Structure formats: C-alpha cells, structure tokens
Structure 1
Amino acid sequence: MQHPLNNPNSEVQLFLTLHQKTNKLTKVLDSKIKVFHLNLGRLCLLHMLEKKNYEALPSELGDDLAVTRANISGLLSALEKLNYIERTFDMNDRRRIKVMMTDAGKDILSKAWPIYEEVVTDLFSELSKDEKTKLLSLLACI
C-alpha cells in the first residue's frame, strides 16, 4: 500500500501549501518587527484593540484572534510587560478584566503596522488585482 503523503489529494496539498506560506510570511514579518519587541501575534492583538476602540475583554480578543485562553493570556502578559497594554477590573463587574491599549501601544502599533503592510504587499505583488480578488473569494468559502 502506498503511503498517503507520497501522493496527497489536492485538498491536503492546498492546506500544506497555505500552512507553509503562512509560516514563511510569519518568519519574515517577525524578523522585521522584532525591533519593537513584537511578533505577529502581539501585533494582531494590538490591531484588534485598535479596531475595538482600544478596549476589550480578553475573551473577545481570544475569539477574534482564534487563539486559546492560554495563548491570549501569554500575549497579554508580554504586551503588559512592554507597557503596550494595561489590564484593569471592570468597575461594573469586578470579575471581568478589561484590556486597554496604552499610548505606548498606540505609538508602537503606528510604527509597526506599516511594516506589516509592506511585507504583505510584497508577498502578493506578483498577483494581479483580479487574482487577489479571486483568491479572497475562494478563501472565503473555507
């Protein structure tokens, strides 16, 4: 019997290719933003806070980023040590913690985000506008 990895079906090949490309992009991006003590996960968390008007619950952020509670806790702890975010108790419900981006976090996001956009733009520069639109449409079906 032939081993399945010797001749993967197209769905497996697509997934493996997406996974490899994502890892490649993440490594390139991480190397460019490490000067800010950021990685892709930390940058995405800061971006989510900006989209939520700089304040959110940890569970909301974890859901939006599709990461576990343990992962979101690690990301928050790292960003808090850098003074990019702060966590405070919700005054209306002290069982809940609110995450807020600090001015330092806003500043670092404004410096790091253009680098993210540049790396991603370079990655997709070989594709035409129509190809990018089609790829987005295809990925939306997953």
Structure 2
Amino acid sequence: MPFEHPLLSVNVFLTLYKTEHHLVQQLEEQLGKFDLTLGRWCVLVALKSSGRPMVPSELSDDLAVTRANISNLLNSLEKAGSIRREFDPNNRRRILVSLTPEGDKLISNVWPVYEQSITQNVGNKLTLEEQSQLKSLLEKLF
C-alpha cells in the first residue's frame, strides 16, 4: 500500500506543504494587524522592489498568481489608498500600477514586523548555514 510506506519524495513534498502553510499562517497573523494579507503584502513589496510602476500582468507573473487574483489584490490595495492605477501616458491601452505615499509608508511600518516574524519562525530555528543549505536545496526544485 502506498499510503503505508509513501515514497520519500512524497513525504518531502507533504512536509514542505505543511511547513509553508504553518509559516504563512504565522506571517498572516502579523500582517493582519495592518489589514494586509500575504498577497497584498507581496504586491506592495514587488512594486517597491521594482522601483517603477508596473502593469498588472507583470505583477501577476512576478507573484505567480492569476490575472483575476491580481485584479482583486489591486482593487483592495487601491481602495485602501496604498496603490494607484493610471493609464500609461505612452500607451493609453495599458494601466500602470504604482505605490502611493501611503503605500510606501505602510511598507516602512510593516517591514520590521515582517522581518521579525520570519526571523522568529525561520532564523531562530535554523543556523545561518542551515538556512543557506535549505535555500540552495529549494532552488533546485524550480
């Protein structure tokens, strides 16, 4: 029976899945204090990291989410005043998404909490060498 003695690769996958779920729950608990989900936070970080306005499809590709999902994330962030969508002055068929000053301030306020949550759940449990090894191993999977 495969369920009695699953392949090691199946066990690895299930452990990764459970670990990711646990870490995301812990992080979302902290982000919720700022009325953010992990998805919204990732959009803000992607915009900040790019240093320029982005089209929704770029954000969707960057975050590996569907176009419909990115649209919902952008709607909620725009409603909260963290981003704005404007027509591209060079191509009126394109929409550009950019951070507002409020969104930039939100990133500055949330970032220390974000780092603390990750440090508490990863950095305090794995040595720097183990973190580096895990990162290298996970990179082999994509």
TM-score range, shorter chain: over 0.9
CA RMSD after TM alignment: 1.1
1:52-94 deviation per Cα after TM superposition (whole angstroms, max 9, x unaligned)? 1141111111111011101111110110110000101111111
Please report how far the alpha carbon of residue 8 of structure 1 lies from its aligned counterpart in structure 2 after TM superposition.
2.1
Question: What is the 5 A alignment of 1:40-59?
Answer: 40-59=38-57
The DSSP-based 3-state class of the residue aligned with 1:28 is helix
1:83, 1:5 → 2: CA distance?
49
Q: Identify the residue that residue 127 of structure 1 maps to in structure 2.
A: 126
The DSSP-based 3-state class of the residue aligned with 1:6 is coil
1:63, 1:40 → 2: CA distance?
16
The runs of 5 or more residues in structure 2 that have no matched partner are: none
Q: Identify the residue that residue 90 of structure 1 maps to in structure 2.
A: 88
Please report how far the alpha carbon of residue 141 of structure 1 lies from its aligned counterpart in structure 2 after TM superposition.
0.7
TM-score scaled by length of structure 1: 0.93
- Size of the aligned set, in residue pairs, is 140
Please report how far the alpha carbon of residue 103 of structure 1 lies from its aligned counterpart in structure 2 after TM superposition.
0.6
1:34 equivalent among 29, 32, 35 = 32
2:52, 2:8 → 1: CA distance?
42
The DSSP-based 3-state class of the residue aligned with 1:126 is coil
Q: Identify the residue that residue 101 of structure 1 maps to in structure 2.
A: 99
The runs of 5 or more residues in structure 1 that have no matched partner are: none
Aligned residue identity for 2:131: K
TM-score scaled by length of structure 2: 0.93
1:10, 1:112 → 2: CA distance?
38
The DSSP-based 3-state class of the residue aligned with 1:55 is coil
Q: Identify the residue that residue 69 of structure 2 maps to in structure 1.
A: 71
2:69, 2:4 → 1: CA distance?
34
- % same residue: 44
Q: Identify the residue that residue 140 of structure 2 maps to in structure 1.
A: 141
1:43, 1:54 → 2: CA distance?
17
